Amino acid sequence: MLPVGVNSISLLRAVSRQYCLPYTSLITKVGDDGTLLCGVELELPQLELVTPHRYFFWSPAEQSLILAYERSAMQAVAFLQGVYRFSLADTGVSWPLHLPFQI
């Protein structure tokens, strides 16, 4: 069980530390249609001689940047929960999340 913060970004930070992820970053990109996207970039640890895997989670910044980053961080945490099989307690959010992507 992991310690839980008050938002998805702090939770992502705690998970990144707990599992020693080599790289976790909040990123911003302008889409092909001009939409501002806020996201999370993760790199999972290298297994044996396989190259590290990078994953991206995006959310459009429709209302505010912080809400978009929160949504992206929540997607990343749900993905990491599937990878590392950890559980969360008392977050005010129903975990595991059922998001529109496959793990």
Which residue has better confidence, 52 or 66?
66
pLDDT of 65 over the 80 cut: yes
- pLDDT tens, 81-102? 999 998 876 555 555 544 443 3
The predicted structure's pLDDT at residue 103: 35
Helix residue spans in the chain (DSSP H): 8-18, 65-84
- pLDDT tens, 23-64? 999 999 999 999 999 999 999 988 766 777 899 999 999 989
Nearest in space to 18 (alpha carbons), one of 39, 40, 3: 3
- Contact by Cβ (8 Å): 41, 56: yes
Which residue has better confidence, 97 or 80?
80
Element (H, E) at 40: strand 36-44
pTM: 0.77
Rounded CA gap, 39 and 85, in Å?
A: 23
Domain positions in the chain are 8-84
The predicted structure's pLDDT at residue 44: 92
The predicted structure's pLDDT at residue 91: 52
The CATH topology of domain 8-84 is Double Stranded RNA Binding Domain (3.30.160)
